[in-house]
Amino acid sequence: MLELFDLTQKLTGVFGPSGRETAVSQTIQEMVRPFADGVFTDVLGNLIVRKKGNGKKIMLSAHMDTIGMVATYIEDSGFIRFGAVGGLDINQLAGTRVIFENGIPGVLSFEEKVALKDLVLNHFYIDIGVKSKEEAEKWIKPGTFAVFDGTCSLNGDTIFSRYLDNRLGCAVLVQALSMIKSTKNDLYFVFSAQEEVGLRGAQTAAYQIEADLGIAVDVTDTGDMPGVKNKMAVKLSEGPAIKITDRSVICSPEVVELLRNAAKKMDINVQNEILISGGTDTGAMQRSKSGIWAGAVSIPTRYIHSPNELASLSDAQNAARLIAYSVSR
């Protein structure tokens, strides 16, 4: 079995915003080949890993892509304007370090003349430490992508990192695959592309696979911080969550029951996830063609879509155990 923190640390270190997932896909391919019966990629960039069986066809999906930025315009002074790739929260941006796909670092900041309450994304820029447009254009052109910069570390049971959404979910799927020595069901582990910009990869993969049942693996919010805006019954370090609903899906009762029964047999504590905003690959799978049973295992995570996310290693490990048991029998 592979070590989950090592997988997470490696995956969070790879550049791969939406539409630029190739390096992530290549890294995961190296991880899964010893355990797979087949590995291929499709036109949209999804990585699909098969573990053969003769029973139901089951699709598991964890998205590879992250939110990020794309350069849109360079000021005469060399400061870089940018657009959002996925859901950027402007309250999290000021003073954050970023790194472009060619390795050039930068710092996010905003026009100080604008009151904080009036800030919108157009007031932000990236400073790469140059003095002119000509100097900046030696390194960065409109269309160059960037992501948050940062490292992955562990304190006790707690993982601190950029982009646990959803590289931690990818690591969980890789570990679950490594746990399965044989399977009754025909399993398709999908590491999907472009989830952050509309669940695009999972939609095309589900159409292609035509599964009987689908399970997404992603992060979810928690309700255990001071002054949290939206109360929810999910806490860090109290087990993975079984999704009931979010804005993209009402999960199939059959899948919810499958996961609950597996958790009971494995003696894994699970939580119920009712997410009032956001969505995951679950919704895309459920609506594919004539529809399939679909659900999700979610990993409680604080500060999602910020430069520094936080999750419990044991929650993620138990998510991998739950998935491996649920789908292989």
DSSP string over 255-302:
HHHHHHHHHHHHT---EEEE-SS---HHHHHHTSTT--EEEEEEEEEE
For every one of its 329 residues, what pLDDT tens digit does the chain have, with 9 covering 90 and above? 579 999 999 999 999 999 999 999 999 999 999 999 999 999 999 999 999 999 999 999 999 999 999 999 999 999 999 999 999 999 999 999 999 999 999 999 999 999 888 999 999 999 999 999 999 999 999 999 999 999 999 999 999 999 999 999 999 999 999 999 999 999 999 999 999 999 999 999 999 999 999 999 999 999 999 988 888 999 999 999 999 999 989 999 999 999 999 999 999 999 999 998 889 999 999 999 999 999 999 999 999 999 999 999 999 999 999 999 999 99
| Residue 78, C-beta contacts closer than 8 angstroms, at least 6 positions apart | 128, 130, 131, 132, 133, 135, 136
Residue ranges per domain, the chain? 4-66+162-328, 68-148
Active-site positions? 195
Question: In this structure, which amino acid lies at residue 109?
Answer: S
166 upstream amide cis, omega within 30 of 0: yes
Residue 7 DSSP label: H
Contact, 223 vs 233, CB < 8 A? yes
pTM given for the model: 0.96
Structure tokens at 304: 């999602």
pLDDT confidence of residue 1:
54
CA–CA distance, 93 with 122 (Å, rounded to integer):
12
pLDDT confidence of residue 278:
86
Is the backbone of residue 88 left (phi > 0), alpha (psi -120 to 50) or beta? Answer: beta
Class of domain 4-66+162-328: alpha beta
CA–CA distance, 313 with 63 (Å, rounded to integer):
19
pLDDT confidence of residue 309:
98
Alpha-carbon distances, residue 66 vs 17, 75, 122, 171, 285 (angstroms): 4, 26, 21, 14, 20
Among 3.30.420.10, 3.30.230.10, 2.40.30.40, 4.10.520.10, name the CATH number for the domain at 68-148: 2.40.30.40
| Residue 75, C-beta contacts closer than 8 angstroms, at least 6 positions apart | 81, 125, 133
Structure tokens at 101: 């796909």
